[in-house]
C-alpha cells in the first residue's frame, strides 16, 4: 500500500489500543487480540482485520463509533481515535468498518488499495 507510515502507524495503534481496552481484566487465557492480513481476491485490495474477543459494540452504536467525540469510556476516552482512523484510511483510498465477531468481540476491517511496484516508478 502507499501512504504515510506515521499515519498508518497511528491507525493501527488506535485499533490495537481499542481492542486491548475492550477486553475485560482478569481472564487472559480466554482472550486474544489478533491481526489478520489477507489480499481480497483479484480486486487489487488488501484487508487488515484487527480482531478482539472483548465486550463487543451494541448494534445501535456500530456506525456511531466513528463520530468525533463518541466514547463509552467514562474516565479517559476522548472519542477521537476512530474518527481520526476513519479519516486517514478514507484519505488513502480505503475503507474502515466495524463488524461483530460471530462468537464474541469485534473486528475492525481496514481495506486499502494495493499499489503495484510498476505504479511506483
Ligand X SMILES: Nc1ncnc2c1ncn2[C@@H]1O[C@H](COP(=O)(O)OP(=O)(O)OP(=O)(O)O)[C@@H](O)[C@H]1O
11, 65, 89, 92: which one contacts ligand X (CB under 6 A)? 65
Contacts of Mg ion in 36-95 (CB under 5 A): 81
Judge whether 119 and 113 are in contact, CB under 8 Å. no
Minimum separation from the CB atom of position 59 to Mg ion (A): 19
Residue closer to ligand X (CB basis): 18 or 31: 18
Distance CA 92, CA 25 (A): 35
Q: 117 exposed, middle or buried (CB, 10 Å; 0-12, 13-18, 19+)?
A: exposed
Q: Answer yes or no whether residue 52 interacts with ligand X by CB under 6 A.
A: yes
Task: Report which of 61, 17, 47 is spatially closest to residue 114, judged by C-alpha positions.
Answer: 47
Q: Answer yes or no whether residue 10 interacts with ligand X by CB under 6 A.
A: no
- Contact residues for Mg ion (CB under 5 A)? 18, 81
Amino acid at each position: 500500500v502507499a501512504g504515510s507510515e506515521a499515519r498508518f502507524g497511528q491507525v493501527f495503534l488506535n485499533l490495537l489500543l481499542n481492542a486491548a481496552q475492550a477486553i475485560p481484566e482478569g481472564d487472559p487465557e480466554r482472550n486474544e487480540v489478533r491481526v489478520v492480513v489477507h489480499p481480497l481476491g483479484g480486486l487489487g485490495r488488501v484487508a487488515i482485520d484487527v480482531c478482539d474477543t472483548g465486550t463487543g459494540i451494541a448494534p445501535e452504536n456500530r456506525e456511531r463509533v466513528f463520530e468525533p467525540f463518541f466514547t463509552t469510556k467514562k474516565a479517559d476516552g476522548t472519542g477521537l481515535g476512530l474518527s481520526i482512523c476513519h479519516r486517514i484510511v478514507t484519505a488513502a483510498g480505503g475503507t474502515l468498518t466495524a463488524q461483530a465477531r460471530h462468537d464474541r468481540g469485534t473486528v475492525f476491517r481496514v481495506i486499502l488499495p494495493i499499489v503495484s511496484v510498476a505504479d511506483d516508478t
